[in-house]
């Protein structure tokens, strides 16, 4: 398994829409992607419960909790600023609730359909806020199944990505998919791909999506 997570970057002056999501899904099917079923990942922001707000800077500002479809019994914490990723049993969420030192604030769902193309699996998903159900973005996961080594999969993934970008460009959509590969080594992760790598990619995407949303507002 080696996965690359992409997110939709709208062109200046444009926003993401369900029409774009539909076009992306149709594009996958046009390159013979076979629809397999649904998928869902979730991302939560954890904020400290403080006695005095003045000391907020002592505590991490980007403490994220992520659940991934491949392992429903696991949960992932990412402290992006401190380059820390942790894999835990999903009961860690209950522990955090009982500690009451951190509360979950905004939560996002990533959900959609997955498709099989030979040795690749593609997941196309909308990013939806749990509170408002409004469409916040579009993500894609590209998975190369046979090999978990970054070194060996990197080139093959790059070639597949180019094929995909070319197919999508024919639809002249107002935007494109972006991949920003985090420095996995900084997170203490090895060259063998794991779901902790995926969690770090989702955490990185959040930063990109927040930046995009802020630039649109500005």
> Could you give the string, one character per residue 16-55, with x where binding to another protein holds by CB under 8 A and - elsewhere?
--------------------------------xxxxx--x
Is the CB of 85 or the CB of 206 nearer to another protein?
Answer: 85
Q: Which residues are registered as beta bridge partners of 141?
A: 5, 123
Position among 29, 36, 70, 89 found at the interface with another protein (CB under 8 A): 89
Told to check if 94 binds another protein by CB under 8 A, we report yes
Largest CA distance in the chain: 56
Neighbour count for residue 69 (Cβ, 10 Å): 19
Question: Where does this chain touch another protein (CB under 8 A) — which range of 8-16, 27-35, 82-90, 116-124?
Answer: 82-90
> Could you give the string, one character per residue 131-170, with x where binding to another protein holds by CB under 8 A and - elsewhere?
----------------------------------------
Distance, in Å, from the CA atom of 30 to the CA atom of 27, rounded to the nearest integer, reads: 5
Told to check if 72 binds another protein by CB under 8 A, we report no
Q: Crossing angle for the helix pair 150-169 and 18-30, nearest 10 degrees?
A: 110
Residues in contact with another protein, total (CB under 8 A)?
31
Residue 62, CB-side half-sphere exposure with 13 Å CA sphere = 17
Determine the distance from the C-alpha atom of residue 99 to the mean position of all C-alpha atoms in its chain, rounded to a whole number. 27
């Amino acid at each position: 398994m080696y996965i690359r997570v992409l997110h939709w970057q709208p062109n200046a002056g444009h926003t993401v829409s369900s029409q774009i999501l539909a076009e992306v899904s149709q594009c996958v099917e046009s390159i013979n992607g076979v629809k397999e079923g649904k998928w869902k990942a979730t991302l939560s922001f954890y904020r400290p419960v403080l006695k005095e707000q003045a000391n907020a800077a002592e505590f991490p500002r980007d403490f994220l909790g992520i659940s991934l479809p491949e392992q429903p019994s696991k949960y992932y914490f990412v402290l992006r600023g401190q380059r820390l990723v942790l894999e835990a049993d999903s009961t860690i969420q209950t522990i955090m609730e009982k500690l009451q030192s951190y509360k979950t604030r905004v939560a996002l769902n990533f959900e959609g359909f997955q498709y099989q193309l030979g040795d690749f699996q593609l997941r196309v998903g909308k990013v939806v806020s749990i509170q408002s159900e409004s469409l916040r973005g579009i993500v894609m996961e590209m998975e190369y199944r046979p090999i978990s080594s970054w070194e060996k999969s990197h080139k093959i993934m790059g070639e597949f990505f180019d094929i995909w970008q070319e197919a999508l460009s024919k639809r002249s959509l107002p935007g494109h998919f972006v991949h920003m590969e985090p420095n996995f080594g900084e997170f203490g992760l090895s060259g063998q791909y794991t779901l902790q790598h995926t969690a770090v990619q989702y955490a990185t995407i959040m930063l990109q999506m927040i930046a995009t949303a802020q630039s649109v507002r500005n």
